Structure 1
Amino acid sequence: MRKTNWFKMISVVMAAAFLLAACGNAGTGGNPDGEGSAGETPNAAGGNGGNSKVTLTVMTNVVGEPAKVLQDIANKFMDENPDIKVDFSAPGAEYENIMKMKMASNELPDVFSTHGWAKVRYGQYLADLKDEEWASKLDASIKPSVTDEEGKVYVLPMDQDKGGPVYNASVLEEYGVEVPATWDELLQAAETIKTKSGGKVAPIHIGGADSWPIGQFFDFYATSVFVSPEQNDAEQLLDGTFDWNKFDVLPQMFLDLQEKGYLNKDVLTAKYSDSAKAFAEGKAAFGVYGPFLIEEAKAINPELKAGLMPIQSVVAGDTPTLVGGEKTTWGVWKDSPNSEAARKFVAYFAKPENVALVAASNALPPGLEGVAIDAGSLTADYEKYKDLRVFPYFDRVYLPNGMWDVMCKNGQDMLAGAITPREYSENMKKEYERLRAASQ
């Protein structure tokens, strides 16, 4: 008898649990566009059936002061939308690895940044934001990077990464050097600075111990060699027919800088922070980074006089260029259970005053029209070069995903004398073909 009662009690508990689960799941569905399926009750906030506060998971690759600006705006959003809680995360250097794991399991944050890869890497995971009010205000320069031919809008670009190398204006003035427009002029300027300073000033400072500054050089100048000239190899790089023997010229250019004494002597042990310090102290003339180096250096020396310069042309008859693309973005996961709340969050950041705050925190032009450039001393440079051709980052368009580390590591090995420029190109070819085949 006791055994029979025990089974009855278990049956009652299991039935109750089933009913509770069914109630808890009712109305939580809905497609990524916020429209519920048949039999479901969409929730005004975009999740949880309207029965409790929605929690949005939001993740960015941005760090430092710009990340704090994003957090502050997110806090204001929560103040104005008490029914939505924002779980904000900025994991820094681990961001990319975290996102790779999340993509593999198809469990992404409701809102996340795409750090230059909205279309190529994250495109299949992103909802189309073309119907959002702010979508019609995309700045013409950034629009090709965040939309496709069918009109899909992948992300909100709050600013745009428009830049090139930078120079210390005080150093150039001291040694009577003009801002170089061609590669030959850059070499002449470097020789003048090295000679007149007696080696006390590094013409070009690179924090090679961090590896990515080396990759930045190749990303900048690959465009000048292979893409921007009238006769170029852009199509061959895209369709897989590129002759990698041609690539030798680029690693040779980089090695020449070291052999001529135009790089800092500690290039393989110096870090990015050392570049910022040298730049701030007048011990470096040029930085092959981007405008962010100036902001870092000004934190050390607020009186620093520096400017942005275009990427020098390399091929005769070509003209200087700028590099551009995504910087600070928000995209919405297409399978987010909180799609409506996520879109509301992104729209809040699209307000002109918030776009202005984010763009100013990175000293970059805004990504939406109708917002004034507030980039401090760099504002004049952006205005000066506003008509220059702007190309996307080379590796984001012309190389398969995964090649960035190859460029960086092989650059380190070459400066250390472990490989030659020819071997650099061979290694690039092998990885290019392997990764290209794996992605098809």
Structure 2
Amino acid sequence: MKMKQSKKMMLFLSVILVFLLTACGSQGSNENGSATNATNATNAPTTNNSENNKSEKPVTITASTNVVGEQAALLQEMTNKFMEENPNIKVEFSAPGSEYENIMKLKMASNELPDVFATHGWSQIRYGEYLADLRDEEWVSRLHEAIKPAVTDADGKVYALPMDQDKSGIAYNVEVLEKYGIEVPKTYDELMAAAEKIKTESKGEVIPFHMGGADSWPIGQFFDYFATPLYTSAEVNDGAQLSDGTFDWKKWDQMAQMFLNLKKDGYLNPNVLTAKYSDDAQALAEGKAAFAFYGSYVIEEAKTFNPNFKGGFMPIPSIHEGDTPTFAGGEKTTFGVWKDSPNIDAAKKYVAYFAKPENIAAMASSFALPPGLDGIEVEAGDLTGFYEKYNDIRILPYFDRVFLPSGMWDVMCKNGADLLAGGISIEEFSKNMQQEYERLRAVSK
């Protein structure tokens, strides 16, 4: 009986042992299977699949520019290449041309701006509060010193990427100046003396200054150019008063008189109010005009009329004793990022793409302008020598962008045309400037 019980006990223990071994084997299997997989997942590269999918999730950003024509097409081409290299980022690119400024004003009013947009000379004054700070972007270390004041502030905020630098001065016909033995004027008095000599010695066949007043903006260009040396660039100036609203607008009489004198003294083309900008370029190219108040771009335009045209480019002459010539300019082709963009990382990546040396070079060369970033060679043709010659000349922002409220540009253009047409007096011009200045300042507050 005891023997049978012993056998039963041994059998029971054997069953228990087999069970335990089976359980251990199953456990080992799990360790080599699912348990091992868990271990592998722990030891695998720390890539969170959900985060990875999120980073690669397709996004769409909007981008808009004020430039048109060849340059707009070039930006579109760069955008297409960016999308090829970054298939997860779709860019809806637009270049609305003359409507750009009005469109942007509406978008600012509703705080629904494009993810990336051109600041066209207004990165700080108009768009500053809407722009993300780009100071941590790689390309910032390569900003050209001359353009830094236009796109950065005293606190170090970087408002936009400048692809090139707007360097606007006075274009001239090199052969005309050589023919009449004229050195490039450095002061306004020298410029007027050159005009008198050209008018007299050419017996009126060469117009000193050609202006396409029918297009309106060439008239405003004169005031934007010469208001700076008259009121703000000299050591003692009216900049503070223009900024705080206390400027004595009777002083504008001098500016208006300078402009009217161009007509009275026979220095302007007689058809100034019906001529167009293209007529200015043609007259310059054909040697029928000596100077034009435009940036270097008019030289390229002139070459379409005369491929052999020899164009020169000079700074804006000073007016007050002790002051020095300057260029007007700052931002030209720029891109900033909307600070409230829902896809701000993609927007910054898109802007950084335009900072690639080959893209900066292509855009600056298309305008024949200096690049906005250092270490980049630009094909500026004949203008290269002039940029090198005047490399150290101050570049000051356009007068209206800094000292006049938005909307004053049209006031200058219209009143300038009315003054030439005899519709208003010098005093009325100044009075109109004051009224609109005060009205627009009040509206903008």
1:160 corresponds to which of 160, 165, 170: 165
TM alignment of 1:140-289, pairs within 5 A = 140-289=145-294
> What is the aligned partner in structure 2 of residue 4 from structure 1?
none
> What is the aligned partner in structure 1 of residue 384 from structure 2?
379
SS of the counterpart of 1:116?
coil
Q: Kindly, what percent of the aligned residue pairs are identical?
A: 66
Cα RMSD (Å): 1.7
Structure 1 counterpart of 2:204, which letter? G
Offset at 1:436? 1.6
Cα distance between partner residues in 1 of 2:115 and 2:331: 19
Q: Is the Cα–Cα contact under 8 Å of residues 193 and 203 in structure 1 kept in the other structure?
A: yes
Change (3 A) 1:349 1:415: same
Cα distance between partner residues in 2 of 1:102 and 1:438: 18
Offset at 1:41? 9.9
CA offset digits 1:210-245 (Å, max 9, x no partner): 111111110110011011122211111112111111
CA offset digits 1:386-415 (Å, max 9, x no partner): 122221111111111221111111111111
The structure carrying a bigger helix percent of its residues is 2
Offset at 1:71? 1.6
Offset at 1:250? 0.7
Change (3 A) 1:42 1:155: farther
Cα distance between partner residues in 2 of 1:265 and 1:310: 26
SS of the counterpart of 1:235?
helix
Answer yes or no: is 1:389 the counterpart of 2:389: no
Offset at 1:198? 2.4
2:83 corresponds to which of 78, 83, 91: 78
> What is the aligned partner in structure 2 of residue 108 from structure 1?
113
Cα distance between partner residues in 2 of 1:77 and 1:422: 54
> What is the aligned partner in structure 1 of residue 20 from structure 2?
none
Structure 2 counterpart of 1:56, which letter? I
Answer yes or no: is 1:318 the counterpart of 2:323: yes
Structure 2 counterpart of 1:343, which letter? K
Larger Rg: 2
Structure 1 counterpart of 2:70, which letter? E
Answer yes or no: is 1:293 the counterpart of 2:298: yes
SS of the counterpart of 1:418?
coil
Answer yes or no: is 1:302 the counterpart of 2:316: no
SS of the counterpart of 2:439?
helix
TM (normalized to structure 2)?
Answer: 0.86
1:369 corresponds to which of 374, 385, 392: 374
Offset at 1:151? 1.4
Cα distance between partner residues in 2 of 1:392 and 1:43: 43
Cα distance between partner residues in 2 of 1:421 and 1:387: 36
Cα distance between partner residues in 1 of 2:332 and 2:107: 21
Offset at 1:310? 1.0
Cα distance between partner residues in 1 of 2:411 and 2:292: 22
Cα distance between partner residues in 2 of 1:171 and 1:91: 39
Cα distance between partner residues in 2 of 1:93 and 1:267: 23
Structure 2 counterpart of 1:211, which letter? S
Offset at 1:377? 1.0
Cα distance between partner residues in 1 of 2:343 and 2:418: 47
Q: Which blocks of at least 5 consecutive residues in structure 2 are unaligned?
A: 1-49
Offset at 1:372? 2.6
TM alignment of 1:29-108, pairs within 5 A = 43-44=54-55, 50=57, 53-108=58-113
SS of the counterpart of 2:61?
strand
> What is the aligned partner in structure 2 of residue 351 from structure 1?
356
> What is the aligned partner in structure 1 of residue 340 from structure 2?
335
TM (normalized to structure 1)?
Answer: 0.87
SS of the counterpart of 2:359?
helix
Cα distance between partner residues in 2 of 1:427 and 1:190: 30
Offset at 1:113? 0.4
Change (3 A) 1:240 1:42: farther
Cα distance between partner residues in 2 of 1:72 and 1:121: 28
CA offset digits 1:348-403 (Å, max 9, x no partner): 00011111111111111111122234321111111111122221111111111221
CA offset digits 1:255-314 (Å, max 9, x no partner): 000111101111101111111121122211101011111111122222110111110111
Q: Is the Cα–Cα contact under 8 Å of residues 44 and 340 in structure 1 kept in the other structure?
A: no
Cα distance between partner residues in 2 of 1:239 and 1:42: 53
